[in-house]
């Protein structure tokens, strides 16, 4: 593990694709927040398949959403260095695991005052904040 890794959190200056996750509509083994492991698994697989992935940050925010009937959803979006294919493949992967509770909803501008860093891609690895301010390499 890298002892003092503190990345420069990236966000796009332009709107980027976002994926909405109907966290209240997910049933079965991935309900109750257990769906996060799927995002982690996908991010690690993406990083292995795309070792040249530029430094990028994936952000998340829970907010009102008209895409699903449950009222609020978890939005996931990122810096411009995450290509559209990342979101398209993530949507397909999540739908294969828990049905229609994930959907690309268009484009959105990430505001760091309203969003939190979810994952970070750098140095060929995926990183997560684990206590609010320190970082560690993501492992499953």
10, pLDDT greater than 80: no
Q: What are the CA-CA distances from residue 65 to residues 12, 20, 99, 125, 133 (Å)?
A: 22, 8, 18, 31, 28
* pLDDT at site 140: 87
DSSP assignment string, 73-129: EEEEEE-TTS-HHHHHHHHHHHHHHHSSSEEEEEEE---TTT-EEEEEEETTEEEEE
Write down the domain spans for the chain: 16-134
Q: For residue 127, is pLDDT > 90? A: yes
**How large a percentage of the chain has pLDDT more than 70?**
95
- Contact yes or no for 59/116 (Cβ under 8 A): yes
pTM summary value: 0.91
pLDDT in tens, 31-72: 999 999 999 999 999 999 999 999 999 999 999 998 998 889
69: CB partners within 8 A, 6+ apart:
25
Q: How confident is the model at residue 1 (pLDDT cuts 50, 70, 90)?
A: very low
Fold topology of 16-134: Alpha-Beta Plaits (3.30.70)
- pLDDT band at residue 7 under the 50/70/90 scheme: confident
């Amino acid at each position: 593990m890298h002892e003092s890794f503190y990345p420069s959190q990236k966000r796009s200056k332009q709107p980027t694709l976002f994926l909405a996750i109907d966290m209240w509509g997910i049933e079965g083994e991935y309900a109750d927040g257990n769906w996060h492991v799927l995002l982690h698994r996908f991010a690690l697989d993406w990083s292995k398949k795309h070792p040249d992935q530029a430094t990028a940050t994936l952000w998340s925010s829970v907010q009102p959403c008209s895409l699903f009937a449950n009222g609020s959803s978890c939005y996931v979006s990122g810096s411009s260095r995450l290509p559209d294919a990342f979101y398209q493949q993530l949507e397909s992967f999540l739908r294969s695991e828990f049905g229609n509770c994930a959907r690309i909803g268009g484009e959105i501008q990430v505001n760091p005052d309203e969003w939190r860093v979810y994952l970070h891609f750098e140095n060929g690895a995926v990183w997560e904040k684990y206590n609010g301010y320190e970082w560690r390499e993501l492992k499953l």
